[in-house]
Structure formats: structure tokens, C-alpha cells
């Protein structure tokens, strides 16, 4: 069996395996999420805000206020945020497979070298390296937000959090534009297997 045929047979299954591991990691983290984890994530977010305030780089309220002034733009940004991650990852892996392997096989193989990998910037080795990099980055992300969950600013606006902690969290004026009344959430951000603290 040629090297290219081997890549052709294994490339798609590797992408499938990558996505399965990714989804499994998301699901395990989301399903095992407990209320105390949410409280810790809120405290971590407030700690980060305090650090940003001391460093004079706490710009998130001004940034969100700017975009809230452009509801149509905000709608499309939320739509992009809600829908792009999983479909975008799949599209990127499929395109990368085509560019590095299928296209390489069609356009970069002289007759005398059919079945061999000639030097090319779009070789199967590039595909494998990019795929491994994505897998490792996601693995690192899972480890970080599992060991140190941190609530995104938009979730600090939860009106159900009681006491001084709730008052402090809401005092920054963040708005959850993803899941709010005019939000543009999707199946990718609104299911029980979605970890809100890994977004």
C-alpha cells in the first residue's frame, strides 16, 4: 500500500477521532459541573477583574457598551460566536485534509513519483502537524478550565445570585447578549453537554 493511500484511508478517521475526543471532553466537563464549580468560576472571574482594575486594563464594560450601541452588529457577532466553533472546526479539518492530502495527491505528483510524497508545503505531514496542534491546544484548554474554571463576564449578570457577591457581580453592568431576550444562542451553546465556563 502506498504512503498516500495510507494517508487517504486514515486522514478522515483521524479527524473523526479528534472530534469525538473533543466532544467527549466537553460533555464530561459539562455533565459533571456542580453548583460549587459555578460559584468558584464566579469568584475567579471577580479575581481577574480585580487584577485588571489594578493594572488599569479593565476595558470589558466599555467594549461591551460600544457593541450594545450597534444591535445589528451585535446580533451577527453573537450568531458567529454561537455557531462557528464546532462547524468551523469541522470545516477547517476537512479543508486542511483536502488542501494537504487530496490536492497534494492530485496536483503535486509527477508521473514518475506517483505513490510517493514529494517535497511540498501542502504535504500530509503538514495536515498531521496541524491536527495534532489543535488536539493538544484543546486538551490544554480542557485541563485549564477544569482545574481553574472562570466565568465569562456576560454570566456575571445572573439576577438569581444572592448577597454581596451577586451585587458585586452585577455592579459591572455586563449583559448576557448570547442567552438574553435578544440573544442568538444555538444548539452548540444551549445544551446540557455544553460547558458555559469553557467558552
- Residue 122 has a pLDDT of 65
Distance between CA 148 and CA 37 in Å, rounded? 9
CB distance 142 to 29 below 8 Å: yes
The larger pLDDT score, comparing residue 155 to residue 123, is at 155
Tally of structural domains, the chain: 1
Distance between CA 38 and CA 49 in Å, rounded? 17
Distance between CA 195 and CA 199 in Å, rounded? 7
C-alpha cell at 131: 491536527
Q: In the predicted model, is pLDDT for residue 49 greater than 90?
A: yes
Distance between CA 124 and CA 117 in Å, rounded? 8
Q: pLDDT digit string (tens) for 63-85?
A: 999 998 998 898 888 888 777 87
Q: pLDDT digit string (tens) for 126-143?
A: 888 888 998 898 888 888
Whole-model pTM: value is 0.63
Amino acid at each position: 500500500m502506498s504512503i498516500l493511500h495510507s494517508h487517504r484511508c486514515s486522514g478522515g478517521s483521524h479527524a473523526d477521532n479528534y472530534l469525538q475526543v473533543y466532544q467527549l471532553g466537553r460533555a464530561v466537563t459539562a455533565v459533571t459541573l456542580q453548583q460549587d464549580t459555578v460559584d468558584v468560576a464566579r469568584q475567579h472571574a471577580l479575581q481577574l477583574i480585580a487584577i485588571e482594575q489594578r493594572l488599569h486594563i479593565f476595558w470589558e464594560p466599555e467594549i461591551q457598551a460600544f457593541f450594545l450601541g450597534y444591535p445589528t452588529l451585535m446580533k451577527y457577532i453573537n450568531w458567529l460566536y454561537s455557531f462557528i466553533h464546532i462547524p468551523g472546526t469541522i470545516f477547517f479539518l476537512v479543508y486542511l485534509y483536502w488542501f494537504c492530502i487530496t490536492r497534494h495527491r492530485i496536483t503535486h505528483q509527477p508521473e514518475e513519483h506517483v505513490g510517493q510524497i514529494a517535497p511540498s508545503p501542502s504535504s500530509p505531514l503538514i495536515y498531521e502537524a496541524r491536527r495534532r496542534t489543535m488536539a493538544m491546544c484543546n486538551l490544554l484548554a480542557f485541563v485549564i478550565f477544569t482545574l481553574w474554571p472562570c466565568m465569562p463576564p456576560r454570566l456575571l449578570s445572573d439576577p438569581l445570585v444572592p448577597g454581596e457577591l451577586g451585587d458585586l457581580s452585577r455592579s459591572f453592568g455586563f449583559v448576557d447578549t448570547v442567552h438574553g431576550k435578544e440573544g442568538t444562542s444555538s444548539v452548540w451553546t444551549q445544551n446540557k453537554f455544553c460547558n458555559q465556563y469553557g467558552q
